Amino acid sequence: MPWFIELLKATGLAVVIFTFLAVVSAMFGVYLERKISGWIQARLGPKHVGPQGLLQTVADTVKLLQKEHITPRNADALIFNAAPVIVAVAALLDWIVIPFGKFGGRVLVVRDINIGVLYFAAMASVTVIGIISGGWSSNNKYALLGGLRSAAQMISYEIPLALGILWVAMVAGTLSTVGIVDAQVKQGSWFMFKLPPPIGWFGLPFGILASLTFLTAATAEVNRVPFDLPEAESELVAGYFAEYTGMRFALFQLGEYGEMFGMAGVATIMFFGGWTEPHLQPWMWLLVTLASLVVVAVILFSGLRQTLLVRPILILASLGFLLSLVMFFGSRAGLSPVLPSPVWFLTKLFALVFFLMWMRWTYPRLRLDQLLNLSWKVLLPLGLLNLVATGFVLTAWGR
Amino acid sequence: MGELAAFMILSLVTLIPAVVVVTSSNIVRAALSLVPTFLGVTGLYVMLQAEFVAGIQVLIYAGAITVLILFVIMLTAGGTGARTRQINEQVPLGAMAAVWLAFVLIVIFSRTVWPVLAGALPAYNVIAVGNAFLTDYVLIFEVTSLVLLVSLVGAIVIARREE
């Protein structure tokens, strides 16, 4: 391919990903976050702009675009202005290796490079530089504290994160994101539940342990509650972006949400089968449908309806009901892929994002020492032991 | 032609921030300038088709080492505000040493007969790197890990003594 077509393709895809990030993950993500948090805490959330407040984030973005850029007088202007760009671009680059599904035999991915998940981890680690330089250059003690906290936190949690990636790379035998999904297609199940035959279901504890370690580390890596010490509102104003105004502030938000969706996407690919459709018998889908219907009915027609804690379970059960109903009729009708693969990818992605938001609005923030203890004394040994045990099982009974 | 252009651009990306690192009077800017330097080197690795090393370069050097350096600077009392002088009265001496070193290097590079025809690259060099580490170079690999472990234990011992 000539270089200018290559360049045009790269530019076009960058625009597409950026639009996806800005519109779907940042705007829609912020809206979802506010709605879900309001719902969990018995508030209404955004309500007035557009139907059910759907256009609230669009209005906020337009407002932020109009705001003045303020650079504090004693700030290091060059670094101060570059920091939000680093964070946003790092989040943008994450998405290059994430496959969205299959369309007519082609995998919908910008570039399937053979170090896919390693590249993802590398780009996620670049975010720290943006955060720490933003925190320092603001010349504000709260911002500096936030930046330092984030550096300590993100460097500590990169290790369990890398161990989770290493686990998947070991089981799949490849680092490419498309290759990992293909390995799960080949063994006929997600890595969370099964290891390659002949181990099968005996791999369940390893897979669940690995995915939980990875998800915990990923939550910490994107600085979300219960790990949001770098931007703890009640102690540090807003942490590392306390001094930022207007669109630069929005770029930090874009980076954070883009990174969160990216982490959810990689977790989907590594542990939840990516774009593949779960294959169950029709009667099993019917069973799932009935089970979720029972859960919904029990919650709606009993005193539990008043309990805020069960609300996320209610929404998950009703969504599961709808999905499994569609799958039941689809598989009865004999359709082989009932739903197109991007739909499955986005469903799994949003289920994980919902899970992360649920965690955020349920648990209180950890203290700094608890945070570092969790990483170094719990997640790191667990991840290492899991890696060794899985490696042993794979060599003893596997290939 | 395209390869040469890419090499030139990557060299500039590597070298210009490297000059800033050794000349800037602001130590935080000097540390931050390491980032584009490391990324430029990453580009050179990609050009050499060593994509695994390139990924590790970003992960370890740009993502961790720089952050560690910044962390230490920011925790040092008065470390960030001070205008450090990177040049002292020994400039002529240093310049002489640098010119001599450059001369020696250029002579060596131009006199050496470089093997131009390399063997075929493995299609997936992560596996090749792993195999090399755990077969031919396993002793070196283990000794390096031991060095890292000793430094880790040393850091913990030093930190514990203050209590």
For A22-43, the pLDDT digits (tens) are 677 777 888 888 888 887 777 7
Reported ipTM exceeds the 0.85 cut: no
- Tell me: do A353 and A306 sit in the same domain: yes
| Torsion angles phi and psi, residue A218, rounded to 5 | -65, -40
Interface of B with A in 101-130 (CB under 8 A): 124, 126
Contact partners, residue A57, CB within 8 Å, separation at least 6:
A26, A27, A28, A30, A31, A46
**Do residues B30 and B69 lie in contact, with contact meaning Cβ atoms separated by under 8 Å?**
no
pLDDT at A364: 79
Q: Would an 8 Å CB–CB cutoff place B75 in contact with chain A?
A: yes
List pLDDT tens digits, range A80-121. Answer: 888 888 888 888 888 888 888 787 777 777 778 888 888 888
Weakest-pLDDT range from A45-59, A169-183, A200-214, A223-237 = A223-237
Across the interface, whether the CB atoms of A118 and B66 are under 8 A apart is answered: no
Domains in chain A, number:
2
**Do residues A172 and A118 lie in contact, with contact meaning Cβ atoms separated by under 8 Å?**
no
Residue B79 reports pLDDT greater than 60 = no
Phi-psi sector, A25: left (phi>0), alpha (psi -120 to 50), beta: alpha
- Tell me: do A194 and A318 sit in the same domain: no
pLDDT confidence tier of residue A133, bands split at 50, 70 and 90: confident
Mean pLDDT of A238-256: 81
- Tell me: do A269 and A289 sit in the same domain: no
Tell me whether residue A373 is in a domain.
Answer: no
Tell me whether residue A14 is in a domain.
Answer: no
pLDDT at B162: 62
List pLDDT tens digits, range A357-380. Answer: 888 877 877 877 888 888 888 888
Tell me whether residue A239 is in a domain.
Answer: yes
Query: What CA–CA distances, in Å, run from A253 to A85, A122, A236?
Result: 11, 20, 17
Of B35, B51, B58, the CB nearest to A113: B51
List pLDDT tens digits, range A288-313. Answer: 888 888 887 777 777 766 667 777 77
Residue % of chain A over a pLDDT of 70: 92
pLDDT at B106: 93
Residue of B nearest to A176 (CA): B124
Tell me whether residue A159 is in a domain.
Answer: yes
Across the interface, whether the CB atoms of B51 and A114 are under 8 A apart is answered: yes
In whole angstroms, give the CA distance from residue A217 to residue A219: 5
Instruction: For residue A83, give both structure tokens.
Output: 């920091």
Tell me whether residue A61 is in a domain.
Answer: no
Instruction: For residue A106, give both structure tokens.
Output: 């082609």
CB atoms within 10 A of CB A103: 11
Pick the residue with more confidence: A367 or A122? A122
Residue A2 reports pLDDT greater than 80 = no
Q: What value does the CA radius of gyration of chain A take, rounded to a whole number of Å?
A: 22
In whole angstroms, give the CA distance from residue A191 to residue A166: 13
Residue B123 reports pLDDT greater than 80 = no
Weakest-pLDDT range from A131-140, A249-258, A336-345 = A336-345
Across the interface, whether the CB atoms of A122 and B63 are under 8 A apart is answered: yes
pLDDT at B96: 93
Residue A200 reports pLDDT greater than 90 = no
Across the interface, whether the CB atoms of A115 and B126 are under 8 A apart is answered: yes
Mean pLDDT of A377-394: 87
- Tell me: do A123 and A91 sit in the same domain: yes
In whole angstroms, give the CA distance from residue A133 to residue A105: 44
Nearest Cα residue to A81 out of A257, A241, A255, A253: A241
Residues of A in contact with B159 (CB under 8 A): none
Across the interface, whether the CB atoms of A128 and B59 are under 8 A apart is answered: no
Mean pLDDT of B31-43: 90
Q: Would an 8 Å CB–CB cutoff place B29 in contact with chain A?
A: yes
- Tell me: do A174 and A270 sit in the same domain: yes
pLDDT confidence tier of residue A45, bands split at 50, 70 and 90: confident
* B155 Cα to chain A: minimum distance (Å): 15
Residues of B in contact with A158 (CB under 8 A): 59, 63-64
Which range in A200-204, A291-295, B17-21, B87-91 is most confidently predicted, on average pLDDT?
Answer: B17-21
pLDDT confidence tier of residue B100, bands split at 50, 70 and 90: very high
Across the interface, whether the CB atoms of B59 and A79 are under 8 A apart is answered: no
Across the interface, whether the CB atoms of A129 and B62 are under 8 A apart is answered: yes
What are the sequence ranges of the domains in chain B?
Answer: 1-85, 120-163
pLDDT at B163: 58
Of A114, A121, A136, the CB nearest to B74: A136
- Tell me: do A120 and A213 sit in the same domain: yes
Side-chain-side CA neighbours of residue A188 (13 Å): 7
* A60 Cα to chain B: minimum distance (Å): 32
| Class of the CATH domain delimited by B1-85 | mainly alpha
Which range in A47-56, A336-345, B33-42 is most confidently predicted, on average pLDDT?
Answer: B33-42
pLDDT at A232: 64
Contact partners, residue A118, CB within 8 Å, separation at least 6:
A165, A175, B52, B55, B56, B59
- Tell me: do A216 and A293 sit in the same domain: no
| Torsion angles phi and psi, residue B122, rounded to 5 | -65, 145
pLDDT at A103: 78
**What are the beta bridge partners of residue A107?**
A102
pLDDT confidence tier of residue B122, bands split at 50, 70 and 90: low
pLDDT at B102: 94
pLDDT at A203: 72
* Mean of all residue pLDDT scores within chain A: 81
* Mean of all residue pLDDT scores within chain B: 84
Across the interface, whether the CB atoms of A129 and B64 are under 8 A apart is answered: no
- Tell me: do A318 and A220 sit in the same domain: no
Contact partners, residue A174, CB within 8 Å, separation at least 6:
A114, A180, A183, B124
* A323 Cα to chain B: minimum distance (Å): 39
Tell me whether residue A338 is in a domain.
Answer: yes
pLDDT confidence tier of residue B143, bands split at 50, 70 and 90: very high
Q: Would an 8 Å CB–CB cutoff place B58 in contact with chain A?
A: yes
- Tell me: do A353 and A243 sit in the same domain: no
- Tell me: do A295 and A179 sit in the same domain: no
pLDDT confidence tier of residue A322, bands split at 50, 70 and 90: confident
Pick the residue with more confidence: A18 or B92? B92
Range of the domain at A311: 282-360
